[in-house]
Chains A and B, each alone.
Chain A
Amino acid sequence: MMNDAFDLRLAESHIEVHKFRSGAIVASTFLALVLQAFVPVYFPKFAVLDLPLLVVIYFGLSRRNPSTGLLLGMMIGLLQDSLSGPTVPLGLYGIAKTIIGYLASSIGARLDTEHPAARFALTMMFFVAHQGIITLTRRLLLSEPEPWFTLRLAIAAAVNAVVAVVLFTLLDRLRKS
């Protein structure tokens, strides 16, 4: 057991915890929520993106602290709930993004997630998981028979993953060198 723990620490030792310029997380979150709310008015297809989720994933993977990741996910999720319609009760996106924030920061602490291929795959996985949690919550708590998987979900996951690769590269510039 001791050796296993030692090996794990050695394996993780090269993974850097990134810090960001002051206000970077708040500004990114705010911008993502504003864009998510008003851009689809002019470009309806933009609604396929979930920018707040991408922000949660990015900062979760970069900060690599599960507590910070889940709290950030909760905050962003609740803000998204507040900006949504009456069919979205407060907490629906909150729960989903809390879990994704936790998972992203936990995985970020164990794997090197800087490579675009890793970011693409992880974003796809987190997007599907996020929708799965929302569907589960809707079915269990709201008694709404949402489908588990649709073609639209697969396309949306791929689109979000592609956008994430570009967006994460831009967000990397907000890191403290």
Chain B
Amino acid sequence: MAGIPSRHRSVVLLAGVIILQVVLLAVQIKRDSQGRLLRVWTVGAFSPFERAGAKGIGNIRGTWSHYFALQNTSRENEQLRHENDELKMQVNQLRSKAAEADRLSALLNFRQGQRNVPMLAARVIGTSADTASQTVYLDRGERDGIRRNMGVITPDGVVGKVIESYRDTAQVLLLTDKDSGVGAMLAESRIQSPVGGTGEPLLSMKYIPTDDTVNVGEHVVTSGMDRIFPRDLPVGVVTEIKTGRPFQHVRVRPAANLQRLEEVIVLLTLHPLEQKKEAPPPAPDATGKSVSGTAAVNP
């Protein structure tokens, strides 16, 4: 920098710094997406504060709701009792419907089929610092048995999968991320197709042939073909269909509320989850490649 006029030094420095970062970007693009040391250090430095912040907010919320926000409790109690009576009547009506019986039966089958899958509840303590990337951080990590590629769900449906696991923290790629995907099928017609993120709130069901019939409002569930999620977990509901060649453009609203996640369940297994007896035909997986019957997630 000694031979450079002082008024041009900052421009030279700017050019140098940008070139360095462009090289850094280029190196990463060629590499496999392994966890980098800088990420590990940065996450390690920031996660305690995020954890403390999450805990602090939880405590403030708890203190407020348990000690201060009790002014209208009596009135609310009366209202809730009234609502409870109404809900009881609705539940009785719903129980009498055959369609509901079918869904409950399917749910029961799923639970019985996945009794051996160990699960772990985790709290969401942070989100991506970038709006284009749909990831969240959990307060559990390697020490709790969480590993890369483990599935993450809520009682409502699929959330995503673990992409990095640190000592006390894990990073989860949400289903809405552009790089995310899950093996899925339509609940009624059993047509299989991967569902992927678009970077927007709605998901995309990519490979439904134009000849197949899809209805708005139809439920989408996991197919189990990605060997990460068990079969028949809710993925979402079809909200929009556009014709196209050779595939229809089907948009799906996620079943889980991915915009407001606070607690999730991690499926603590990397072994292929057991399939039901009937063998479905080979279909494209979440990345669009064909999945064979023996393919498995990395152990």
Contact = CB atoms under 8 A, between A and B. Distances in A.
Given A37-B129, A82-B42, A84-B128, A70 B17 contact: yes
A52 B54 CA distance: 20
Contacts of B42: 79, 82-83
Interface of B: 9-11, 13-14, 17-18, 21-22, 24-26, 28-29, 33, 36, 38-39, 41-43, 46, 49-50, 53-54, 57, 124-137, 163-164, 171, 173, 177-179, 259-262
Contact of A37 (B36, B126, B179): B126
A58 interface: no
Given A41-B136, A84-B135, A85-B173, A141 B129 contact: no
Contacts of A52: 129
B132 A38 contact: no
A89 B22 contact: no
Contacts of B128: 37, 83-85, 88
Interface in A60-81: 65-67, 70-71, 74, 78-81
Closest 7 CB pairs of A and B: A85-B133, A85-B135, A66-B10, A82-B42, A84-B130, A83-B129, A91-B21
Contacts of A95: 18, 21-22, 25
A98 interface: yes
B296 to A, nearest CB: 22
Contact of B33 (A41, A79, A86, A91): A86
Contact of B43 (A41, A44, A83, A137): A83
Interface size class on chain A is: 35 or more
B17 A142 contact: no
Interface in A22-50: 33-34, 36-38, 40-42, 44, 47-48
B10 A41 contact: no
A40 B127 contact: yes
A99 interface: yes
A102 interface: yes
A91 B17 contact: no
Contacts of A37: 46, 50, 126-129, 137
B136 A141 contact: no
A3 interface: no
A52 B46 CA distance: 14
Contacts of A33: 46, 129
Nearest to B26: A141
Contacts of A74: 17, 21
Contacts of A89: 24-25, 28-29
Contacts of B43: 82-83
A94 interface: yes
Identify which of B53, B57, B129 gathers the most chain A CB atoms within 10 Å of its CB: B129
Contacts of A82: 38-39, 41-43
Given A41-B125, A91-B21, A137-B25, A86 B163 contact: yes
16 contacts: A36-B129, A37-B50, A37-B126, A44-B259, A66-B13, A78-B21, A80-B130, A83-B42, A84-B130, A84-B133, A86-B135, A86-B163, A86-B173, A90-B39, A98-B18, A141-B22
A69 to B, nearest CB: 8
